[in-house]
A = this chain, B = another copy of it.
Amino acid sequence: MQGVTLTDIAEDEDVAARTGATVYVCVTCRRPGDSEDTPRPGLALARATAKAAEGTGVSVCQVECLANCSRSLSAAMRCDGAWTYVFGGLSPERDAAALIEGARLLARAEDGLLPWRGRPEVLKRGLIARVPPTDFANGNSKEETE
């Protein structure tokens, strides 16, 4: 639609319907010492994140393994045309809202990069990796952090 920028679109309520903003939460990881029948903290985080996503338009998917086992709990987020981010060291009691806030920031980011300033603290210290979008060409990135 002529004259409508990404920023305008993202200011609407339903971000995900336009941008595919999705948070993936690993439901497999356990904490050291947890027995087999202890409820998985990753599942608790996934459920809390799904609840935090209600009404935001962000999708939440449960994943069986993000292969970040040594630095769990783990989650990732993506958005059409944006970079994909992986986070670790998450807490099921504390970090669901931060994941959804991060996904909404990513959906609004005109350059496709999750902004450092204003990013929830756990998405700074828990950053594991980021990967460019599919239309990435050499050189159109900038280093992580401020």
Contact = CB atoms under 8 A, between A and B. Distances in A.
A64 interface: yes
Given A134-B78, A138-B61, A68 B128 contact: yes
A129 B61 contact: no
A28 B142 CA distance: 10
A67 B127 contact: yes
Interface residue tally of chain A, by bracket? 35 or more
A67 B130 contact: yes
A63 interface: yes
A138 B40 CA distance: 16
A143 interface: yes
A20 B134 contact: yes
Nearest to A85: B67
Contacts of A55: none
B141 A65 contact: yes
Interface of A: 20, 22, 24, 28, 61-69, 74, 76, 78, 80, 84-86, 127-132, 134, 136-139, 141-144
26 contacts: A20-B134, A24-B131, A28-B143, A61-B132, A61-B137, A62-B138, A63-B136, A63-B141, A64-B139, A64-B143, A65-B141, A66-B129, A66-B131, A67-B85, A67-B130, A67-B144, A68-B128, A69-B144, A74-B129, A76-B129, A76-B131, A76-B132, A80-B134, A86-B86, A86-B128, A86-B129
